[in-house]
A = this chain, B = another copy of it.
Amino acid sequence: MLIEKIKSDGLAHLSYLIGDGGKAAVIDPRRDCEIYVKRAREHGLEITDIFETHRNEDLISGAPVLAEMTGAKVWHGPNADGEVRYAETVREGDCFAFGDIELRVLETPGHTFDHVCYAIHDKGYEDGAVGVFTGDALFVGDVGRTDFYPDQAEKVAGLLFDSLRKIEALGDQAIIYPAHGAGSVCGSGMASREFSTVGHERKNNPRLQIRDRDEFIAAKVAENHYYPPYFNTMERLNLVGGDAAPRIDLPPVLTLDELAECDADRVVDVRPITSFAGAHWPGALSLPESMISAFAGWFLDEDDRLALFAEAEEQAEAAAVHLRRIGYDRLVGVYTGLAPAVAEGKPFARIAYVDHETVAERLDEGRNDWTLLDVRAIDEVEDYAMEGAEHIYVGELNKRLGELDCDRHYTTMCASGARATVAAGWLASNGFEHVDIFLGSVGAWRAHHD
């Protein structure tokens, strides 16, 4: 009897392979889904069913592609906003057997209306669920966000409260297998730990400590969440079923001439932030590999044709995986090697890092041609704000660009300097010429000035 977690870093997305007696099921597969087939075979299992806990907003479901690969059926909860075309509908109490494993459906609306959980029972040891796939209803240390239906905010928060009670009713002994871990945009307070039980959450999860329904609704409605524009694309694709990624999903190698002449809408620099700051292709956007999942969807349009700028092929390939998981397939190619490009006569740009002393001096001077621009999330700013800083969340820079003056000098900052570099790259790519970055940002500031 097998259960295996397949994690997608960046998205902090957790999917699962479960099987026994030669048959297997996959819960919430991602788009690049060969891995499920491979792992199943290593255990002598054939995938016959695919279960979704809900319609994902933050990634493309691999269910339709995996179904086509394997002939498996796809199952999805009721009450989807539109018809999920590639899936059949499960309802409360439906049971599915894989050898001695039995999955039982619990309808658990709240995060979305169509959300279901799947309790895991072992027919050989029948007393109580062994575990439960909790999707985006219950995480380790947090519960799902409930901001996707702004006009029904209280209703869905209340539904989630009821759903959590249903999960608790499985008993303390049930292990929880959520759809996301820490770092996901689908919750803000998750623990870094990825193993827990209903019982441990019941005792420790802050949101489960609120036992009053109204109090819970009030708390959920007061939460701040960001909604990147690409979520709309994901929602749409996860109803109709996204295409499979291209068979050879590696972007072609570009020569320097090909990069210079290609008609990409964006050059995306996937190198680490310090490399970008040191020197970069003029106009490139900084989206280091580890930040693509969280930030690409704020800056790139669904149909953008992208050229990747990387240190090495492997880095570009890893970046391409992240891009494809959220639907960016139009990769015109990858170029590596900045110094060689410049040595061929091409121009370069750079953005300076400045330290806490420089920022302190500028603040002291009270310069009026300069703005310290804090691009952290609102929750972080509420937690600790730097006096003198202006706030625009990095993800909202695109839509709020009009609030900024491209002749002004901006120093971007965040918690450490990473998002500040992405922000600075975005500004520079939009014609802002006087931009630098506070490396260390709030961290460094508090270490030296608090």
Contacts and interface: CB of A to CB of B under 8 A. Distances in A.
Interface of A: 1, 3, 20, 22, 34, 37, 40-42, 44-46, 69-70, 100, 122, 124-128, 130-131, 141, 171-175, 191-200, 202-205, 244, 247-248, 250, 252-253, 255, 271-280, 311, 313, 317, 336, 338-340, 342-348, 350, 352-353, 355, 415-418, 439-444, 447-448
A243 B49 CA distance: 29
A417 B34 contact: no
Given A125-B200, A175-B195, A417 B339 contact: yes
A33 to B, nearest CB: 10
Among A3, A194, A199, max chain B CB count under 10 A is at A199
Among A40, A342, A345, A416, max chain B CB count under 10 A is at A342
Nearest to A173: B199
A36 to B, nearest CB: 10
Given A128-B203, A339-B440, A345-B440, 10 more contacts: A40-B253, A45-B253, A122-B193, A175-B196, A199-B199, A277-B279, A343-B417, A343-B443, A344-B444, A348-B355
Contacts of A1: 191-194
A183 to B, nearest CB: 12
B279 A248 contact: no
Nearest to A101: B193
Given A199-B171, A348-B353, A352-B352, A342 B443 contact: yes
B248 A34 contact: yes
A416 B343 contact: yes
B247 A69 contact: yes
18 contacts: A1-B192, A41-B253, A69-B248, A125-B141, A130-B195, A173-B200, A174-B199, A175-B175, A175-B196, A199-B199, A244-B247, A271-B272, A273-B278, A274-B275, A274-B278, A275-B275, A342-B416, A346-B440
A339 B273 contact: yes
